[in-house]
Chains A and B, each alone.
Chain A
Amino acid sequence: MSELTNLTIAEARTKLLGKEINSVELTDAYLAAIEEANKSLNAFIEVTPDHAQTMAKASDAKIAKGDVGDLEGIPIGIKDLFGTRDTHTQACSHILDGFKPKYESTVTQNMWDDGAVMLGKLNMDEFAMGSSNETSYYGAVTNPWKAQGDDTALVPGGSSGGSAAAVAAHLCAGATATDTGGSIRQPAAFTGTVGIKPTYGRCSRWGVVAFASSLDQAGPIARDVRDAAILLKSMASVDAKDTTSVDLPVPDYEAAIGQSMKGKKIGIPKEYRIEGMAQDIEALWQQGIQWYKDAGAEIVDISLPHTKYALPAYYIVAPAEASSNLARYDGVKYGLRVTGDDITDMYEKTRSEGFGDEVQRRIMIGTYVLSSGYYDAYYLRAQRVRTLIKQDFENVFNQGIDAILTPATPSSAFAIGDEEMAADPVKMFLNDIFTVTVNMAGLPGISVPAGLDNKGLPLGLQLIGKPFEEEMLFQASHVIEQAAGTFAPKRWW
């Protein structure tokens, strides 16, 4: 194992530009690390070594000429949800068997344009539906973290479990991920990594397999706040191919890091203090408050009264949009086809065999709430509640709050095959209780590692910001990182 894989993106960038190292050797070091670890972790579901080496060589040539992009020569992993030309893109579903798109998603194209090197595709929950990465057709991902003195395999969270595990285990310098209800921030919290879901409309959704179109946003998972800022700057853009892409210039997020928090107002929402929350998490939240006081910020108690209703509203809106988006998988245009007696039989057999249980459950819920006679009672009501949730946030931001501090998750990572979660789908949903409000309101949210619990597992704190003020989140989360440090798992794989 070489030391090269221990470099953050910012460190590797300096060494690459200073010609102390080159991208080919950096890329080879990551490919070797993947080779060694992937049997144990199952984070990558497709590795593209030839492609990676070609891209690395091209980057080295560009560096030699002094013509460099923001991610020149940096090896990254891509969540399987992003369309990558002629390369495995299946949203980790059986129904997309063999699918290799003839196009490139805008987010990944932006990164290749900036010189990034693709190592391969990362494991995830099927169609990004799940909070443990256990619904993947390619099997569960194992969290590189283990509890002290306990060999139990833990989940990395989900749906971006492969992205989070690969970043935590140093199998890539950074990774793309997506977040519909917490799928970037929860796995980041479970693996001691930094994950940011930007404002809805900041990253183009073009070429990304759709789950719930009004909630889906791409963002990075990285080892530290600075790397997350570097990655987001490359991923974000204004894109004519996505009509919900917002026409605002992409700022230099890195420049926000290290700016003073003196006089900034940090809101603490009382509704996030939930019954049965682990003591460690409450303590960490208090610790976070203290760090901001020490940094000169003003702590303000706030109320977001409709918080409790975000999760049930989400479980109407997201499945409704999913049932509609996933109607396209019919065994005709791409992926799996299971033959039947007639065309309807073919559709039904293909979809029943191709979709996993969790996806089928959500399609069923979505179809039901959109069906004739139920639309008003469910979908319309949920969208009204969503308006109230958004107003809650607008009210506190109008009071002058700069960012809101909450726990990222109600617990640390749990075991693969947790029986309670498997028996009750609603239990699994509760993982997203602190993150889902942010998607419902379209706001940016970042999860940053803040400490370890009594089992020695990482815990994260979440910061929520105003629309398109991701800079404040980088500025504020850096305070936590400075105080808490960064966290890496002890290697056992």
Chain B
Amino acid sequence: MSVDIDTVKRVAKLARLAVDDTKAEKMQGELNAILGFIDQLNEVDVEGVEPMTSVVQMEMRKRVDEVNDGNKADDVTANAPASEENYFMVPKVIE
């Protein structure tokens, strides 16, 4: 399968990457090279094969449902580019 320029732009939008025409064209070539390489997988007969969900068969680890951590609002926001009183500050979202 190969992608056209509109698909590149649509995927970039989904991935929240700003892509202008020049960059989209460059990406198109690179992505098609990679997708061409990936296409080999179509040779494999996967009929009836279970998709892998975990490399190590193990029971899901569970823990008791209790609070064992928290009250770290300062730590959580310490690295934010903009924060105020433990809130993350973002540009206005709703007009």
Q: A247 to B18, alpha carbons, bound, how many Å? A: 44
Known: A311-B37, A334-B79, A381-B41. 17 other contacts (CB 8 A): A201-B55, A214-B54, A247-B58, A332-B88, A335-B81, A342-B93, A343-B90, A351-B17, A352-B17, A361-B27, A363-B15, A365-B35, A368-B7, A383-B53, A384-B50, A385-B46, A440-B55
CA distance A314 to B81 in the complex (A): 34
Chain A residue at smallest Cβ distance from B81: A337
Cα distance A346–B60 when bound, in Å?
38
With A312-B41, A315-B37, A332-B80 in contact, do A352 and B19 touch (Cβ < 8 Å)? yes
Mark B39-76 against chain A: 1 for CB-CB distance below 8 A, else 0. 11111101001111111101011010000000010011
Q: How large is the interface on A (under 10, 10 to 19, 20 to 34, 35 or more residues)?
A: 35 or more
Asked if B80 contacts A364 (CB within 8 A), the reply is no
The contact of B37 among A312, A336, A388, by CB within 8 Å, is A312
Chain A contact residues, CB within 8 Å of chain B: 98-103, 199-201, 214, 240, 243-247, 306, 308-309, 311-313, 315-316, 323, 327, 330-337, 339-340, 342-349, 351-352, 355, 360-361, 363-365, 367-368, 371, 377-378, 380-388, 390, 424-426, 429, 440-442, 467
Q: How many A-B residue pairs have CB under 8 A?
A: 166
Residues B41 and A385 in contact, CB atoms below 8 Å apart: yes
Q: Check B50 against A312 for contact (C-beta < 8 Å).
A: no
Shortest distance from the beta carbon of A37 to any chain B beta carbon, whole Å: 31
| Whole-angstrom CA separation of A313 from B34 in the bound complex | 11
The contact sample of 7 A-B pairs, CB cut-off 8 A, is A102-B72, A332-B90, A334-B80, A342-B91, A346-B91, A364-B11, A383-B51
Contacting residues, chain A, for B34 (C-beta < 8 A)? 315, 361, 365, 425-426
Q: A331-B81, A348-B18, A361-B27 are in contact. Are A388 and B56 (CB under 8 A)?
A: no
- Verify A364–B38 contact, CB threshold 8 A: no
Residues of A within 8 A of B55 (CB): 200-201, 214, 390, 440-442
What B residues does A333 contact at CB under 8 A? 79-80, 88
Known: A361-B30, A388-B46, A388-B49. A336 touches B81 (CB 8 A): yes
* Among B7, B37, B38, B56, contact of A246 (Cβ-Cβ < 8 Å): B56
